[in-house]
A and B are shown apart, each in its own frame.
Chain A
Amino acid sequence: DPKIIQKPKYLVAVTGSEKILICEQYLGHNAMYWYRQSAKKPLEFMFSYSYQKLMDNQTASSRFQPQSSKKNHLDLQITALKPDDSATYFCASSRQGDQAPLFGEGTRLSVL
């Protein structure tokens, strides 16, 4: 059974719309992350959270907003979608400080 659940697996959106990507982990980890994978940049770090607090943000655009409502949740809200946002978004988690991040299966987003 997958321990990091991402929903939905596939998502199609129109330019200018808003979407929320869901991530839940059942590994007991206290750190969670978002990464993006596209044809232009294979795997790119976006955000990291530890104990539900933002630790690092490498995303230049404020259109990307992580949301942590529970300690094992880290959703990603994307507003004013653009075709360039088309990518696969991976959620990952780890035990803060001493463990390699483990990845979910991703949400493949297509913006038309």
Chain B
Amino acid sequence: GDSVTQTEGQVALSEEDFLTIHCNYSASGYPALFWYVQYPGEGPQFLFRASRDKEKGSSRGFEATYDKGTTSFHLRKASVQESDSAVYYCALAQMNYNQGKLIFGQGTKLSIKP
């Protein structure tokens, strides 16, 4: 079945550091890829989506590029802030079936030291 792998379980950075969270997927066909962010006590918030190869999604200074060749959708941000501390989830959905059926990775907890 389809799956999403996030390499880092936890990432600790200082403010203004560069962020990369790795996301790789395994899926049949041509899935849509998503990033969500979850703050303590809240539901996941949609960040952005990409639906085709080489498409870049971005929001709030975060960005990721759909790479079908390496089956990746890595999240990057040039300069993190303390307010970015949260859990980040990569997810996929099959475009031709049920786009609301998201398959999530395990999540990456990001901690930013002031």
Give residues in A with beta carbon < 8 Å to B: 4, 31, 33, 35, 42-45, 48, 55-56, 58, 90, 92, 94, 96-106
Contacts and interface: CB of A to CB of B under 8 A. Distances in A.
B100 A48 contact: yes
A101 B46 CA distance: 8
B49 A100 contact: yes
Contacts of A58: 101
A87 B53 CA distance: 36
Given A33-B100, A92-B100, A42 B106 contact: yes
B29 interface: no
A31 to B, nearest CB: 5
Interface of B is mostly: loop
Contact of B43 (A48, A99, A105): A105
B89 A56 contact: no
Interface of B: 34, 36, 41-46, 49, 89, 91, 98-107
B98 A43 contact: no
Contact of A94 (B36, B100, B106): B100
17 contacts: A4-B43, A42-B106, A43-B89, A43-B91, A43-B104, A43-B107, A45-B101, A45-B103, A58-B101, A90-B44, A92-B100, A98-B99, A100-B99, A103-B45, A105-B43, A106-B42, A106-B43
A102 B89 contact: no
Residue among A42, A56, A92, A102 with max Cβ neighbours from chain B (10 Å): A42
B102 A90 contact: no
Contacts of B104: 42-44
B43 A101 contact: no
